Amino acid sequence: MPRIEIIGVEGIPEIVEGIDLGETILDAVRKTGLELRNGDVIVVSHIIVSKAEGRIVNLSEITPSEFAKKISTESGKDPRHIELVLRESKRIVRMRRGLIISETVNGLICANAGVDLSNVGKGKAAMLPLDPDNSARKIRERIRELAKVDVAVIISDTHGRPLRNGAVNIAIGCSGLEPLLDRRGEVDIYGRVLTSKIICVADELASAAELVIGQADEKIPVAIIRGYKYKPSETPAKIIPRREEDDLFL
């Protein structure tokens, strides 16, 4: 029977700017007695990537604009947080009660431009990595260099979404696996050719990893998914966000 394992990696130390994430992950895995294998998928919560890449700011260093102050007055939210969200956005999609849905500089449409006040410490905020596909690629290459294994790497984030309550984890960066598995042309069990089946396996892998990452009070920022036969590819996760004109749902 096909069997996939999702293993939470404990023992990742506090991440500081400039740390070698590939080496850090590898060390933590080895300390638990495991070895990474060819074909493993390593899902990394974006928060430690943001920390390693210096994408953390002290809110005390942020001077809110007049616009941010106005939104703050109306919503009761910290004006410096709103200012950061505006700085990380290239376009506001919707605004209501201080919640801002915007398109980030990376082309993601999400709440608060992905700016996070959790798991960074009091008075601080985390912004998304500047180029999460590149972050994934660097971790993957470093692991290949140090451990001589070829893994795929996904950078994940927890995102709210339209139509459905509750957030799920999605892939904001990807290296080594095809994020969108195109199954068109395959036949079903009755011989009918599939005409419209494209699966976002990168998002499904990110969601699967959250089942262990989310269970441990954020102390497990990395998961290994073992046994999933992905399609090797250099396609980035930035192809996942859909162009608005192609989006029938909106």
Residues 68-127 that bind a copy of itself (CB under 8 A): 93-94, 96, 99, 101, 109, 111, 117-122
Which residue from 22, 136, 212, 236 is in contact with a copy of itself, where contact means CB under 8 A? 212
CB of 216 to a copy of itself, least distance (A): 6
Q: Write out the binding residues for a copy of itself, residues 215-234 only, by CB under 8 A.
A: 215-220, 225, 228-229
CB of 119 to a copy of itself, least distance (A): 5
Q: Does 60 bind a copy of itself (CB under 8 A)?
A: no
Q: Does 27 bind a copy of itself (CB under 8 A)?
A: no
Interatomic CA distance for residues 41 and 25, integer angstroms: 13
Q: Does 235 bind a copy of itself (CB under 8 A)?
A: no
Indicate the residue type of 122.
K
Question: Are 105 and 94 in contact, with CB atoms under 8 Å apart?
Answer: no
CB of 22 to a copy of itself, least distance (A): 19
- Residue span binding a copy of itself (CB under 8 A) among the ranges 7-15, 54-62, 81-89, 138-146: 7-15
Name the phi and psi angles at 155, rounded to 5. Answer: -100, 125
CB of 53 to a copy of itself, least distance (A): 19
Contacts 24+ apart (CB under 8 A), 186-191: none
Choice between 91 and 242, CB closer to a copy of itself: 242
Interatomic CA distance for residues 178 and 202, integer angstroms: 8
CA 160 to chain CA centroid, nearest Å: 13
Strand order in the sheet with 89-96: 89-96, 99-104, 109-111
Q: By CB under 8 A, how many residues form the interface with a copy of itself?
A: 80
Indicate the residue type of 97.
R
Choice between 138 and 203, CB closer to a copy of itself: 203
Which residue from 87, 214, 233, 235 is in contact with a copy of itself, where contact means CB under 8 A? 214
Question: Are 82 and 100 in contact, with CB atoms under 8 Å apart?
Answer: yes
- Angle at alpha carbon of residue 191, lines to 189 and 192, rounded to 5°: 100
